[in-house]
Amino acid sequence: MRRNLSWIVLPTLNEAENIVGMLDGIGRAMPAGDYVICIVDDGSRDGTVERVRAFIRERKDVHVELLQRQKTHRGSQRGIAVWTGLQRGLQQSAAGVFIEMDADLSHRPEELDTGLRLLREEGYNVAIASKYSAGGRVVNRPWGRRALSFVANTAVRALITPAITDYSNGYRFYDRRSVEIICGRPLRYGSPIYLTEVLSLLLAHHMRVGEFGSTYVGRGEGLSKLRMIDLVKAAIAVVDIAARFHLQRRPDPEHVARRRNQPKRDASADTRAGT
């Protein structure tokens, strides 16, 4: 496979109503032959797998791979599903770009070209479709979930770095080096908090992260689906991730090179803005 191939990971769990629409949308947005869609299903029981198999039989113009796994913990294990799909792409392809998206149509395939351009033309290692960057917006999502997401992102920005506006959106683009870093170690968190864990790991390795304004389409999720224990666990996880980020952050190689080759001067002059 070619290096300019894109490997798109779609984690699924009971997405029978949305999966064909998502696959069709990606097919319209991406050049034919330039991508593989890797569906990682976590044990759907609503016919999702059967619809994917039918799509594979009928649509030879769209390259889809189906991986099936069984969840071993309660709650969302989206992080482990995505990690499995990324690892499969590293092993089975020479793809230069890896993309993760939700399969429930909350992420718009029409924005794929924007993220690809940030990596291929502007030299970023990572691109995030951000709800909070200029031009970003959220539609069809209850105000309570919007408020919770905003507060959570604000807290994470304070603990890790304010240079990133959206730590929680799972619509992301990675170059191959970034995926090698992600798959080079097991995830500590399989729940959606893994999005923060992965990003802190990449920032610690000085991967260049860019964001673009994105429209997030809510799927009617409400606060009633959240349990207090889940919120407490997420808060503890964020503190743990932030602590590990600050303790394990590697020296910036460009900064080290400048320090070696430049005359001694005020240290404040060497401070980088980060990402």
CA–CA distance, 46 with 57 (Å, rounded to integer)? 19
**What is residue 271's predicted lDDT score, i.e. its pLDDT?**
28
Domains in the chain, number: 1
What's the average model confidence in pLDDT over 230-238? 82
Q: Are 132 and 165 in contact (CB under 8 A)?
A: yes
**What is residue 101's predicted lDDT score, i.e. its pLDDT?**
98
Task: For the beta carbon of residue 42, count every other beta carbon within 10 angstroms.
Answer: 21
Q: Is the pLDDT of residue 272 over 50?
A: no
- 270 lies in some domain: no
For the ranges 28-32, 145-149, 258-262, the maximum mean pLDDT occurs at: 28-32
Tell me the two tokens of residue 40.
């990682």
- The per-residue pLDDT of the chain, averaged, comes to 86
Of residues 270 and 155, more confidently modeled: 155
Q: Is the pLDDT of residue 158 over 50?
A: yes
Sign for the pseudo-dihedral over CA of 271, 272, 273, 275: negative
CATH number, residue 46: 3.90.550.10
State which residues form the domain around 160: 6-255
**What is residue 190's predicted lDDT score, i.e. its pLDDT?**
82
Q: Is the pLDDT of residue 192 over 50?
A: yes
- 268 lies in some domain: no
Tell me the two tokens of residue 113.
């070209």
Burial of 74 (0-12, 13-18, 19+ CB in 10 A): exposed
Q: Is the pLDDT of residue 266 over 80?
A: no
The fraction of the chain above a pLDDT of 70, given in percent, is 83
- 239 lies in some domain: yes
State which amino acid sits at residue 243: A
Of residues 140 and 274, more confidently modeled: 140
**What is residue 180's predicted lDDT score, i.e. its pLDDT?**
98
- 158 lies in some domain: yes
- 263 lies in some domain: no
**What is residue 134's predicted lDDT score, i.e. its pLDDT?**
95
What's the average model confidence in pLDDT over 233-246? 88
What's the average model confidence in pLDDT over 203-207? 94
Q: Is the pLDDT of residue 239 over 70?
A: yes
What's the average model confidence in pLDDT over 174-192? 92
- 61 lies in some domain: yes
User: What are the percentages of helix, strand and coil residues in the chain, rounded to 5?
Assistant: 45, 15, 40
Q: Is the pLDDT of residue 168 over 70?
A: yes
Strands (E), 53-109: 64-68, 97-100
Per-residue b or e along 240-273, where b marks 16 or more CB atoms closer than 10 Å to that residue's CB: ebbeebeeeeeeeeeeeeeeeeeeeeeeeeeeee
**What is residue 252's predicted lDDT score, i.e. its pLDDT?**
63
Residue found by looking up tokens 């992420």 in the block:
107
What stretches of the chain show up as alpha helix (H) in DSSP? 19-29, 48-58, 78-92, 112-120, 143-159, 176-183, 194-204, 228-248, 253-261
